[in-house]
Amino acid sequence: MSDEFYITRCLELAALAMGNVSPNPMVGCVIVADGQIIGQGYHQHYGKPHAEPNAISSVIEKYGNQAQELLKKATAYVNLEPCAHFGKTPPCADLLVKHQLKKVVIGNRDPFASVDGKGIEKLKNAGIEVVSGILDAECRHFNRRFFTRIKQQRPYIILKWAQTANGFFATADGHQKWISGNLAKRLAHQWRTEEDAILIGKKTALMDNPQLTAREWPGKNPIRLVIDKNLQVPQSNHIYNNEAKTIIFNEIKTDLVDNIHYIQMEDMHFYLGQKIAFQLYLMDIQSVIIEGGVNILKQFLETNLWDEARIFSSANSWTEGIASPSIGGNLTEQIQIGPDKLSIYINSINP
C-alpha cells in the first residue's frame, strides 16, 4: 500500500474525535510492519493520550513480547508531526524514539511554535527516517480549524444561514418562519456537535428564543455566544438555561453566574467581529458557527472575517422579506438535503 493510503487511514481515525479534542488538532496514527497494519490509534479526547501512544499501546496489547521487535522494523504514519514538547502529555516524538521505529511518514508539519519541525528533528537525530508532506493539502484542510487558530490567532469562522429560492433571509415583520426542512435542521445540529461554539445576536435571541443545542444529534452542545450590548435579552430566554456554557458579550459587566459568563467589551459598535474573534482565541475556542441575523453576518462578511459559509436554499419563494447577505468566495460544493440545496463556500482570500 502507498504512503497516501496509510495517511488517508490516519485521517479516517482522527475524524472519530471530531468535536472532542479542541483546541488540539485531530490526529490519527497507523503503524505498519512487513506490509501489514500492526497497530493504530487516534487522539480521542483533549488532555488524554495522543494518537502515537494509543497506536503503540495497541501493538503492545496485540503482540505482547513480540511487539518491541516489530516496532523496530515498523513505519509509523501520522497526519501531523509528532509533538516535541511536554504539555498535558509527554512528547510523542520521544516515544517513537524510545521504541526505535525505523521510519515515520508525516502529513503536515505542525505550525505550533513548540513543535514546528522540532518533532521531525528529534526523530532524525535518533536515526529514524522521516518523510513529510504526504497529502499535505488534504491534511491541512482536515485540520483547518487548528491551522487557522495557530496562524491567524482567531477561531475558524463558519457562517450559516437559510434563504428562500428567491433570496429572502427572514420575514419583513420579524416573525419567525422556518425556511429549511427537517433534514437540514438535523444536519445543522450535527454541525453544532463538531464545532466549539455558536454565535447569535440580540435580535435573534429575542425573535426566535433559540436553544442553540444539538438536541437532534448525539454529541456535545456547543458553547453559546450571544451579542447583547445592553443586556436586553430576558433571563427567561432559553440561552440562560443550564444546558450549555453561555457567554454574553456586553458593555455593562464582567461576571460569572453558574454557567453564564458575562464579558464586558468597550465600544462594541467598532470592530466588533475582530474583538470577538480575538476574545475567542484567548479562550481557546477554536471554531465558531455564526447563526445570527443579517447585520451580524454582514459585519463578518464585510471585514472578510470568515472562512466557510454553509447556506441552505429552499425550493419555496416569498413575496417579501429581508434579503440574504451576498457572499463571495469559492463555491466548492452543492448538496441536496431533502427539499433544500446546501451550498458551501470557502473564503478564497484567506491563506
Whether residue 75 has pLDDT greater than 50 = yes
The annotated binding site for substrate is made up of: 192, 212, 215, 291
pLDDT of residue 193: 97
The annotated binding site for Zn(2+) is made up of: 50, 83, 92
Which CA distances in Å does 313 have to 192, 204, 307, 310, 337?
19, 19, 20, 10, 10
Whether residue 239 has pLDDT greater than 80 = yes
pLDDT of residue 86: 67
- Structural domains of the chain, ranges and CATH numbers in brackets: 3-148 (3.40.140.10), 153-347 (3.40.430.10)
Q: For 197-220, write each residue's pLDDT tens digit.
A: 999 999 999 999 999 999 999 999
Q: For 15-29, write each residue's pLDDT tens digit.
A: 999 999 999 999 999
**In the annotation, is 52 catalytic?**
yes
Spatial contact of 13 and 42, defined as CB atoms under 8 Å apart = yes
Q: Which of 195, 184, 190, 204 is nearest to 297 (CA)?
A: 204
Pairing mode of beta strands 287-290, 322-323: unpaired
Whether residue 53 has pLDDT greater than 80 = yes
Q: Residue 286: what are its φ and ψ, rounded to 5°? A: -90, -20
C-alpha cell read off for 209: 428564543
pLDDT of residue 351: 46
Q: Which of 52, 194, 195, 308 is catalytic?
A: 52
pLDDT of residue 350: 58
Q: Residue 294: what are its φ and ψ, rounded to 5°? A: -60, -40
HSE of 279, CA atoms in CB hemisphere, 13 A: 20
C-alpha cell read off for 66: 513480540
CA separation for the pair 41, 30 (Å, rounded):
7
pLDDT of residue 101: 95
* This prediction's pTM: 0.93
Spatial contact of 223 and 245, defined as CB atoms under 8 Å apart = yes
The annotated binding site for NADP(+) is made up of: 162, 178, 204, 208
